[in-house]
Amino acid sequence: MDFRTETSLGYVVNHFARLMARDLEARIKPHGMALGAFPALLHLWEKDGLTQKELVAKLGIEQPTLAATLTRMERDGLVTRQRDAGDGRVQRIRLTDKARALRELAYAEATAVNARAVAGLTEAEQQQLLTLMGRVISSLETTPGSD
């Protein structure tokens, strides 16, 4: 079997993601945001007060990983965890004023990283890339090993 990293979709996408993450981290870290918190913040900026269970599902990560991320986000003054008034077993994640104030800056930094990544592509190629990546993601969101 002839495995080559330059023709391995998994390797190339992983490398691409690491480069994007490195650039984004360099841009948001000076503003008090950790890269690991960024995906959770994106979802909370869309809808504040999600439960931990809802965030786990949206992020596609394990609950212990999210719990550790939320602990760091609390430490950094970005979120609070509050018991749900209707069900004390449920914790709702709420943004702090500090996190709300970072929203537009974070969007601008992420937009700049995205623009830098696709600067060599035409608008049509950019749309095609997103369309193809969406299709690949849909294929992988099925149960692993169900081919």
Determine the 3-state secondary structure of 133 from DSSP.
helix
Any idea which fold 5-117 has? Arc Repressor Mutant, subunit A (1.10.10)
pLDDT (tens digit per residue) in 72-82: 999 999 999 99
Q: Amino acid identity of 61?
A: I
Distance CA 79, CA 67 (A): 12
Domain boundaries, the chain: 5-117
Cβ-based neighbour number of residue 37 at 10 Å: 21
For the cut 60, the answer to whether the pLDDT of residue 147 exceeds it is no
Q: What is the pTM of this model?
A: 0.85
pLDDT (tens digit per residue) in 5-17: 888 999 999 999 9
CA angle 11, 17, 55 (to 5 degrees): 120
Give the number of C-alpha atoms closer than 13 A to the C-alpha of residue 38, restricted to the C-beta side: 21
For the cut 70, the answer to whether the pLDDT of residue 144 exceeds it is no
CA 132 to chain centre: 19
pLDDT (tens digit per residue) in 31-85: 989 999 999 999 999 999 999 999 999 998 999 999 999 999 999 999 999 988 8
Q: What pLDDT band is residue 143 in, cutting at 50, 70 and 90?
A: low
What pLDDT is recorded for position 142?
Answer: 78
Tokens describing residue 59: 């992020």
Q: Are 99 and 107 in contact (CB under 8 A)?
A: no
Q: Are 21 and 117 in contact (CB under 8 A)?
A: no
What pLDDT is recorded for position 122?
Answer: 97
